[in-house]
Structure formats: structure tokens, C-alpha cells
Amino acid sequence: MAMNALAATNRNFRHAARILGLDSKLEKSLLIPFREIKVECTIPKDDGTLVSYVGFRVQHDNSRGPMKGGIRYHPEVDPDEVNALAQLMTWKTAVADIPYGGAKGGIGCMPKDLSKSELERLTRVFTQKIHDLIGVNMDVPAPDMGTNAQTMAWILDEYSKFHGYSPAIVTGKPIDLGGSLGREAATGRGVVYATEALLAEHGKSIKDLTFVIQGFGNVGSWAARLIHERGGKVVAVSDITGAVKNPNGIDIQSLLNHKEATGSLNNFDGGDAMDPNELLIEDCDVLIPCALGGVLNRENAGKVRAKFIIEAANHPTDPEADEILSKKGVIVLPDIYANSGGVTVSYFEWVQNIQGFMWDMWDEEKVNKELHRYMTRAFGNIKTMCQTHNCSLRMGAFTLGVNRVARATVLRGWEA
């Protein structure tokens, strides 16, 4: 069983704190969330019966700016995992050098069992319960598993009933309500920019390499599409429905069309079906896990044949797997850097909303160019930390993020 997400994140944090020589009281203070919120959300179902759900929000740190993080609608909303993800957002925003802290939240429910109007009522009740604990300069939610741009539109509307029109209260909104062009593809595009920065460091480029991608949802499909466009060979792809491989490279557009038409990756004629459990140990240059946490663990890490692993998912690599991979000389690009494209473009959306000036009405290129600048700069900063502390990329990213948050905390007078 993979190590608990919170335990793994705390372990990485403590390791970084030791490398940085942080004061032990400060270290303890940085781990404790600023606030945890739990609310009851009761709604009438379409048949008139009442049903109650538990909604929550973990606000981890606000030393560098308002808190930022997704809202997920999922039946197993585990408090430990939400805590871990809120904390990861604190380090991720610091690594990307955007002025936010971390948060995460959600509602324990099964979204596919609720009608659209039930989801709307649930979202509005949740917003009513937390509206005075979130805010444009306090905590800015975003979509996550089981939520989307429509969910954000409902939150925006409900919040605005209390506070006046506030487009900057959430990001990942529909374009017509102040959403940003390029947000949809942002995490996947950021993954590709991060991959390019890492490969360039090793004198390689996407064009000459083979890729395996686990997960073909938003992030995986965009990453695959952009790698394919750049001449990279995607040799295997999997999602919850199955897995496909083709050593000569899968035509990603046809696979997207097939998934759109049939709802699954099965029976695709541009490749052969394979066991999804074998995907992570498939022969390739670059492995990109874009699905769940804890997929690389002590059982399979020794069999990984990729030379590079790009963590597009949150905590896909368990700390035990980290050690095994590092002994094998596999280079792991950590999640808190690799998947920060989404929150970076969310930041661009929020900036435009608070200015009341949308710069990307004319071109998505500006968004992509800015994203590229942020991702490239962050990679350089991580490499500097790796050289200073003679550590892995993961510890380079963690020390970079933790150090920025610690400095902000001390400057603001944390003991006062």
C-alpha cells in the first residue's frame, strides 16, 4: 500500500526543512493549517426529500498571498489527503513564484448520481456556508475532480449575491464570465514546458524521444497532444477504461476522436490493447503519470524502464519508490513543479479579473508565452537549489518553495 499522502508530503517537507536548517518551532508552525472548515450542506433532492452532505475547506497558509486550491466533488474525500493537497499547493505556488498560499476542499458526494439541478443547489448551499471565509484576497477556489467551469459559475453567482459582482472569487470559470483562454490546456501545456526544460538540461529534446502517458483525462490528453505535435513518439497511453500501445507511436488525434466517439480507449485500431498494470514499466524514454497518487511504489519502481519521470499527477511517486528510482539513476521531475501550469494560468485569470482588464481576449499566445516564462524560470531556480544543497530535483523544488514561505512568514512577524 502506498504511503499516506499526508505522511509523504510531511516527510518531504521535514527533509527540506532540515536541509535549510529551519528553526524547529517555525518548522512546526509551517505545517499546521491556518484554518480547517467543515460545514453541513442540506439540499432538497429533485423528488423533494432532504439529503445532507459534508463540505469542507482546508486553508493551509496565507503568508505569501490569498490561499488557492481546487474544490473536488468525490465520495472519498479523505481529510488527510485534502490536508496534504492543501499543503502541496502552498509549496507549489511558492515554487512557481506566484503570490498565493495553499488550500483545498470539496464535498463528499458522488457527482454522477446527482442531477444538474441537485449539483447546482449543493454548490450554492456550500457557497452560502463558506462565503465569508473565502474571498478575492483571502481564498480563491478552482475546479478539481468532479467539478468544472459550470461549478465555478454557480459559486461566482452565489458569492456575488453577498459581495457584489466578484469575478476573481474563483478561477477556471467559463470564458463568458471572465475565464482565461488557455486555462483548459494549461496543466498539460505546463507539463510539456517543464519536460522541455528538463530535457534541454540533458541535451535532449521531445522530438527524438518515446513517451508513455498514464491517464488520458484533461492533463494527459493535452500533454499527449502537445508532445505529438512536437514530434515526440507517444508509444503507450492508458486511462480508467484500458490501455493502448504502438511502438511506432500512437496518432493522438485519432485516439482522441476514438475516445470522444466510444467513451473508452478499447478497440482502437491505431494500436494494440495492453494490460494497464504493465503501462508504468513499459519501455520508453519518458514516463508521465497523469492520474492518481501513489502509483509508483516499492513493488513496481525497480521495474521502471523510463529514464525520466514527469509527475503530472499529485504525489504519484511514493518516498520508497523515490529512493529506488534514484539508485537506478532515473530522474524524477517533481509534481510541485511539473504540474504547476494550471495554478499559474489561474493566477493570470485572477490578475485580469481584479484589474477588470482581460488581456487574452485577443490572443491565447500571450497566456502561453507567459506560462512558458514562468515554467522556465522556476526550473532554473530549482536547479540552483539542487546545486547549492547537492540534492535531488524533488528536494530542490521543496527547499525552494519552503524557503520562500519561511522567509515571508518570518518577515511578517510570525511570533508576534
Mean pLDDT of 224-233: 96
In a 3-state reduction of DSSP, which class is residue 285?
A: coil
pLDDT at 291: 86
pLDDT at 1: 41
pTM to 2 decimals?
0.92
Give catalytic residues, as residue numbers.
Answer: 104
The CATH classification of domain 34-165, taken from the options 3.60.21.10, 3.40.50.10860, 3.40.50.970, 3.40.50.150: 3.40.50.10860
Q: Where are the alpha helices (DSSP H) in 230-332?
A: 252-262, 319-328
Q: pLDDT tier at 415 (50, 70, 90 boundaries)?
A: low
- Calculate what percentage of the chain has a pLDDT beyond 90: 83
CA–CA dist 36, 87 (Å, integer): 12
pLDDT at 358: 77
Helix (H) or strand (E) holding 213: strand 210-214
- Calculate what percentage of the chain has a pLDDT beyond 70: 98
Amino acid found at 149: A
* 307 labelled ligand-binding: no
**Selection from 278, 286, 266 nearest residue 212 by Cα:** 286
In the chain, where the domains are located = 34-165, 185-333
* 238 labelled ligand-binding: no
Q: pLDDT tier at 145 (50, 70, 90 boundaries)?
A: confident
* 117 labelled ligand-binding: no
User: Would 34-165 and 185-333 be classified into the same CATH topology?
Assistant: yes
Amino acid found at 173: K
pLDDT in tens, 334-393: 999 999 999 999 999 999 999 988 765 557 888 899 999 999 999 999 999 999 999 999
pLDDT in tens, 39-94: 999 999 999 999 999 999 999 999 999 999 999 999 887 788 889 889 999 999 99
Locate 222 and state its grid cell: 493535452
In a 3-state reduction of DSSP, which class is residue 315?
A: coil
Contact 227, 254 (CB under 8 A): no
* 92 labelled ligand-binding: yes
* 166 labelled ligand-binding: no
Tell whether domain 185-333 is in CATH 3.40.50.300: no
Between 367 and 397, residue with greater pLDDT: 397
Give CA separation, 201 vs 73, 205, 396, in Å. 39, 10, 15
Pairing of the two strands 286-289 and 308-310: parallel
Q: pLDDT tier at 185 (50, 70, 90 boundaries)?
A: confident
Locate 387 and state its grid cell: 546545486
